Structure 1
Amino acid sequence: MIKKSTILTIMGLIITIALQASTIGTWKNYMAYYDVQDVQQAGKQLYVLASNDLYVYNENDQSIQTYDKTNGLSDTEIQTISYNKSAKRLIILYTNYNIDLLDTNGDITNIAAYHKATLTTGKTVNHIDNYGKYAYLSTAFGVMKINVANAEISETYNLGFNVNWTQVSGNYIYAYSSQQGQYRALNTSNLQDKSNWIRVGEYVAPTEENKDSLISFANTLTPSGPKYNYFGFMKFYNGKLYTCGGGYNIIQDLMRPGCIQVMDNATWSIYEDDIEAKTGASYIDIVSLDINPTSNNKVMASGRTGLYEFTNCKLSNYYSYDNSLLNSVFQTNKDYTLVQGLAYDKTGNLWLANSMTDKQNLIELTVLGEWISFKKNELNALPNLAHFYIDSRNLLWIANDNWQKPSIYAYQPSSDGINSYTSFINEDGTQLELTNIRSITEDKDNNMWFGTNIGPLVLTAKEITSSNPVFEQIKVPRNDGTNLADYLLAGIDITCIAIDGGGRKWIGTNGNGVYLISEDNYTQEAHFTTNNSYLLSDYIESIAINSTNGEVFIGTTKGLCSYNSGITAPTSTMNTDNTYAYPNPVKPEYTGNITIVGLNYDADVKIVTSNGTLVAQGRSTGGTFIWNGKDLNGKRVASGIYMVEVATSEGDSGTVCKIAVIN
């Protein structure tokens, strides 16, 4: 048997590459803590509600602990917080009326009864008032009493009217209603009998604690995170996650702040956003962005109010009807200069569309700064020219994402030709009736995928130039002996599609969470929802993937989260310089999977002992192979050095890395 000390000595001679990565299958939340809304003090701890999220500041060591679904909270979007001194617990009320109790040790207890209850009067909570170990929640129907120490709803008092706030004083409990006046009842009476509540005066507003100094102090704290929880569009590029808020199409305007937020190794950069005085336009509803491939410090962004250029996070140029080829919907109104899609080509020319105009539609801003119009009659006056995508053929794909004329266009810059797809017929000859085309992407076989309100559609490479193109709805066999099949995710409203290094499709939906579909499209590998995962919302707006480490970023209507899939992009060369395993060494307390990255696509992988005994084998997914640390009999392998041997489809083979296991 090899001694531990010997293994450690050997490992000291092995050249490894350190990888900072989370365990496969883990989730992260990236919440905003910018807008301080309330501060509750509990001794030396400050509970801070900011941007509807929560963190705790410890005055003793000046540490900050953030809280979200991944470390204990039961829900998202906090409406209000209130500290109960007697029970030493923070009451956390969410906008959906779920309730958590957080104690000073960081333990969280959920009270879900009110959230789950069905009430005809509505559940609005106007105020939380503490008295002893109890909290009185003033609601649309009356008062709800919570025993904070026991984490239970004690009683509800249905008074038949809206209560703004509650007070316990002396032998009485008072309910104040701006509509009905001031009511009170003896604490010793049956408070559930509303006849015991007597009107005793007019409404009086509560005297709120002055927290200006606490809020001012909280504003000096800087928990890591974005400024806003809006992620309508995302792109992972050159090791960074670039995001903008979204918020606009022709039938919906969410008026989201126009903020570009970029994450680089968990550090956030917030682009200049106080720019309305410089541009003369409202800086809202930014729906698309791209990074200049010839100068990565330059970013172009666009949306309802024109085109913005940023250099090193600062606004460097703004383009509208008065200084470019762009046109406003309302002539001289910069707030409706619609540029809902843009993309850089590989040489640094920017392509963009100007929606709802018959003067200009498809425009190029060249790398030399020249504006060129490629006006296409097919695109005239279309309301929502969006979701730009330049594929491997250098075709520029554009969707008109609108119910009036849902359509797709493929423009070829080299020939100035354009293909229009305005009728959608599937492989069974069925005319598909769709209203929205919300995403465009390309798979590894160069097929084009479109996310629509009736499910995903695929246009194979050979159908792109067909005079009568057929859109494929992937048929998934039932495998029940009937030879029948079902269309993949038929009827599911698709909002975004991203494809990982293993060719798997991550499909975001409008209310059904995220589906993970296998490379061959026939297997649903996972379906993430708020009920079975740490997903923040089932309404997904964007997905972007870090192909280096397999982290899948998911932009939801309630903020940004990520899932560590572990699946990386394949590499062209497998050797000891770029192929490695983590964790390595595998220590006795570690029981999770061991991940090998830096592999070819579909590489044949074998793991053997130092004397050549086979303990595991399989094929890589993308550039990744995952080993559970067990042998062919399902037992944890013995301590020792294990070789990772690979073979490519071309017949090349060899040992690419070594793994030390310590038991």
Structure 2
Amino acid sequence: MIKQVTSVFLFFLVLSSQAQDFSTLWQGYFSYYNIKDIAIGDNKVYGASENAIFTYDLSSNQIETITTIEGLSGETISTIAYSDAYDTLLIGYENGLIEIVSGPENEILSVVDILDKQTIPPNLKRINHFNVLDGLAYISTDFGISIYNLQRLEFGDSYFIGNGGSQINVNQTTVLNNTIYAACGNNNAIKAAALSNPNLIDYQQWQTLGSGSFVSVESVGSRLYAINANNVVYEVSNGGFTNLFTYSDLPLDTKAVNDNLVITTGNHVYVYNSNFATLATATLQSELNTRFTTATITENHIYIGTSSSGVLKTNFSNTMAYDVVRPEGPLMNDAFKIEAGNNNLWVTYGDYTVSYNPYPLRSYGLSHLVEENWINTPFSSLLNAQNLNYIAVNPFNPTQVFISACQQGILELNNEVATVLLDQNNSGLEPIAANDPSVRQTGSQFDRNGVLWTMTSRVDKALKSYNPSTGQWRGYSFSEIIQNPLLDEFGFGDLVIDRSGTKWIGAYKKGLIGFNENGNKIGYINSEEQNMPDQVVSAVAVDNNNQLWIGTIKGLRVLYNTGGFFDSPNQSVKEIVVLDDGIPQELLSSQYITDIKVDGSNNKWIGTLDAGIFYFSPDGQQTIYHFTTKNSPLPSNFIKDISIDAQNGKVYIATSKGLVSFSSGGSKPEEELASAFVYPNPVRPEYDILGASSLNDINKGVKIRGITENVNIKITDIEGNLVAEAQSRTNLRASRSNYNFAIDGGTAIWNGKNLANNIVASGVYLILISDLDSFETKVLKLLIIR
């Protein structure tokens, strides 16, 4: 029996001089399904997922999280341990980084000594285990053992204990009777030395016990146990090894907890007393479809980490029943495509190569965030649709969603349920060949009429349209530019539609393809002569001026004259040139562009392969933000996809190591002013929002939402004196002019200063909004109390 533990989902507030708190503008959406390690401390269970931590309070059952939003690095966690004496959680990473979370405010200290150590090869820096004893942490690594003083927060000696003082893999250490024992891999057996020996940095002071490779060593009471890579657990006494038991598969984790020994394999958790008598055995239930990874115990319960189900809680008296302990989150951290809108977010994990090869096939589920709650659908409920990628939500029926599968066609969902898999047998889609049933579906987009446009790789009629309301399919041949669809073009990615109905498609060989079914017009740009930096187009986006922004694997280009694309015989694209310290430079020169999105203010969000994400002004001349792992909660600089919820301006960013969002503050303009409103209203003294020098923080300033695309807004006092004024396309929030009042798409922000740059007094203020195109007007009242 399995049931989900429900609890309040909160975020830690983490403050540290070494770690920034980004919780006001950023939000993290990390997966807690794959558990790397578990620890007990401070009446809590600490669970380490791939790159985030959660705690489960044993008294209140409350779940809290620590992520990059609170200051963690976002790197891949390999082990954790808790020190009760110092109220400290130690987090070890695969790259050698150590982070220490301590105190009631959960301050985070990053320890980079091993990470930055030049004499240790990068592949040997992995932190394998922490053994905390008498204020010291004995750190097992792939190069040996390092000592860290928890009181002074500094490193001591490092022990290289291989033959000749070489660096060898140490998986775990323990101490018994003032002797330290190290379980070593690569046939280096067990190494042992007296802790009182002042010269442990000398490898000759360490003796070798036994033979072969050992994955763990642990002391329980007065006994010492070691597990060999041959799946055998031994008791070690006076240098001799007594075979106690042979496991069916390799033990993955060994812990000593309250004079008990806990050993975890992929299918079982064994709990023994100090004499190796079995106290309890937990067995993996077949319906879970996962593997055990780690475990620990409290007085009455076993907590088991899994590879894909989070933490399982079971009782010693009934190990057949499990509760699932896990924060809200998506299925995986490595999202491939995301689609946001109307406070919803869809996430897929399918992936394919840069040349649109779906192999190896990926049988992953999908995730859907609805009003801060995650609905995760496993692969078993998705009609065997593999390599799910682009998501298209029907604008006239948001409960109907179409997801491209780069192997089987298009998966249709209705009300969260996969209802049909559209392929060559029940739709207008085509396989690669009669003897190859692969339907390589990728980029999909609905047009303003509710017709779905979608791309199929390596077939003649590469572009298809489907009207869900009529069931009608149409196919459009690309033979004019692609003679052999199997060999001349490997695949297509992004598909966007401009105001004139032209479909713009990023391709692997043909670069940028433009197609309009009205007149059956088609063309492409992919050569150096046309100013393309590379023929591989990885991202396309149409901005609010109907200009096309093009991302390639070697840089950025813009097609300014989209209307004349099919008529000009010498069509070309342009680079953006900016001044860098007075020197003209090409914007994002040679950068691998992974995605481009345009927000309601016509600003551009551009993701890259290894340089994080950029936020540019409408013309690209100003860099509003450049977020990386160094200055933001991004867990990785590899940006996989970007999606903007136009209703609230929230920007979702999928990276290779997790999903985050940034509240930019802009929003999509409305068609009319009827819904325009101002907030907060009234502005009270305790709401310290006035006088901010920057309008980029949406938590400051007075906001006017629901405005139209082209407006003039005047703010006056009750006597009609002009206090502030802003106009769309002129007073941009991201401008270098540092306006006190600016407009960002469907939102205007005022910092409460007047034309003399002074904070206004208490009183009633009138907000006069005029649409410059329709001449519609609206008046709002605002009360400020200081």
Band the TM-score falls in, shorter-chain normalisation = 0.7 to 0.9
C-alpha deviations, 1:34-56, integer Å up to 9, x for none? 23443322242111123442111
- Separation in 1 of the partners of 2:129 and 2:100? 16
What corresponds to 1:262 in structure 2? 368
CA contact (8 A) 2:79 2:128 kept: no
How far has the Cα of 1:143 moved from its partner? 0.4
| Higher strand proportion | 2
Give the secondary-structure state (helix, strand or coil) at the position aligned to 1:533: coil
Residue type matched to 1:570 in 2?
Answer: P
Task: Return closer, same or farther for 1:631/1:222 CA change in 2, 3 Å cut-off.
Answer: same
Of 485-494 and 435-444, deviating more is 485-494
Which residues in structure 2 correspond to 1:222-237 (within 5 Å)?
Answer: 222-237=326-341
C-alpha deviations, 1:560-599, integer Å up to 9, x for none? 1111111112234335x42322364343352432222222
Matched residues, number = 625
1:310 aligned residue (413, 425, 434): 413
- Separation in 2 of the partners of 1:417 and 1:633? 56
C-alpha deviations, 1:474-497, integer Å up to 9, x for none? 2335684xxx74332222221111
How far has the Cα of 1:657 moved from its partner? 2.3
Task: Return closer, same or farther for 1:539/1:219 CA change in 2, 3 Å cut-off.
Answer: farther
Give the secondary-structure state (helix, strand or coil) at the position aligned to 2:80: strand
Matched, 1:464 2:565: yes
Matched, 1:200 2:308: no
Task: Return closer, same or farther for 1:150/1:328 CA change in 2, 3 Å cut-off.
Answer: farther
How far has the Cα of 1:315 moved from its partner? 1.6
Give the secondary-structure state (helix, strand or coil) at the position aligned to 1:262: strand
What corresponds to 2:523 in structure 1? 419
1:444 aligned residue (533, 536, 544): 544
Residue type matched to 1:598 in 2?
Answer: G
- Separation in 1 of the partners of 2:762 and 2:592? 50
CA contact (8 A) 1:412 1:418 kept: yes
Matched, 1:574 2:574: no
CA contact (8 A) 2:356 2:491 kept: no
Give the secondary-structure state (helix, strand or coil) at the position aligned to 1:645: strand
Which residues in structure 2 correspond to 1:437-586 (within 5 Å)?
Answer: 437-460=537-560, 461-465=562-566, 466-477=568-579, 480=582, 485-574=584-673, 577-582=675-680, 584-586=682-684
- Separation in 2 of the partners of 1:408 and 1:40? 52
C-alpha deviations, 1:406-452, integer Å up to 9, x for none? 422222234333223343545xxxx4340421111111111111111
Matched, 1:188 2:225: no
- Separation in 1 of the partners of 2:433 and 2:135? 60
Residue type matched to 2:368 in 1?
Answer: V
How far has the Cα of 1:551 moved from its partner? 1.2
Which residues in structure 2 correspond to 1:242-261 (within 5 Å)?
Answer: 242-249=346-353, 250=355, 257-261=363-367
Matched, 1:356 2:458: yes
RMSD of aligned Cα (Å): 2.9
Which residues in structure 2 correspond to 1:18-57 (within 5 Å)?
Answer: 26-57=25-56
CA contact (8 A) 1:411 1:418 kept: yes
Of 267-276 and 465-474, deviating more is 267-276
- Separation in 2 of the partners of 1:146 and 1:102? 15
CA contact (8 A) 2:78 2:127 kept: no
Give the secondary-structure state (helix, strand or coil) at the position aligned to 2:158: strand
Task: Return closer, same or farther for 1:536/1:613 CA change in 2, 3 Å cut-off.
Answer: farther
Task: Return closer, same or farther for 1:144/1:463 CA change in 2, 3 Å cut-off.
Answer: farther
Residue type matched to 1:126 in 2?
Answer: N
How far has the Cα of 1:169 moved from its partner? 1.6
1:601 aligned residue (694, 704, 709): 709
What corresponds to 2:4 in structure 1? none
CA contact (8 A) 2:709 2:746 kept: yes
How far has the Cα of 1:272 moved from its partner? 4.7
Which residues in structure 2 correspond to 1:333-372 (within 5 Å)?
Answer: 336-357=438-459, 360-367=461-468, 368-372=470-474
- Separation in 2 of the partners of 1:393 and 1:651? 22
Residue type matched to 1:175 in 2?
Answer: A
- Separation in 2 of the partners of 1:163 and 1:583? 62
Task: Return closer, same or farther for 1:222/1:656 CA change in 2, 3 Å cut-off.
Answer: farther
C-alpha deviations, 1:125-145, integer Å up to 9, x for none? 333323232222211221011
What corresponds to 1:5 in structure 2? none
C-alpha deviations, 1:81-103, integer Å up to 9, x for none? 22223333211123332211223
What corresponds to 2:81 in structure 1? 82
TM-score by length of structure 1 reads: 0.87
Give the secondary-structure state (helix, strand or coil) at the position aligned to 2:47: strand
CA contact (8 A) 1:424 1:471 kept: no
CA contact (8 A) 2:386 2:408 kept: no
How far has the Cα of 1:541 moved from its partner? 1.3
The answer for unaligned runs of 5 or more in structure 1 is 1-21
CA contact (8 A) 1:643 1:655 kept: no
Task: Return closer, same or farther for 1:254/1:509 CA change in 2, 3 Å cut-off.
Answer: farther
How far has the Cα of 1:123 moved from its partner? 0.7
Task: Return closer, same or farther for 1:407/1:115 CA change in 2, 3 Å cut-off.
Answer: same
1:374 aligned residue (470, 476, 489): 476
CA contact (8 A) 2:170 2:182 kept: yes
Of 64-73 and 142-151, deviating more is 142-151
Task: Return closer, same or farther for 1:332/1:413 CA change in 2, 3 Å cut-off.
Answer: same
Task: Return closer, same or farther for 1:53/1:601 CA change in 2, 3 Å cut-off.
Answer: same
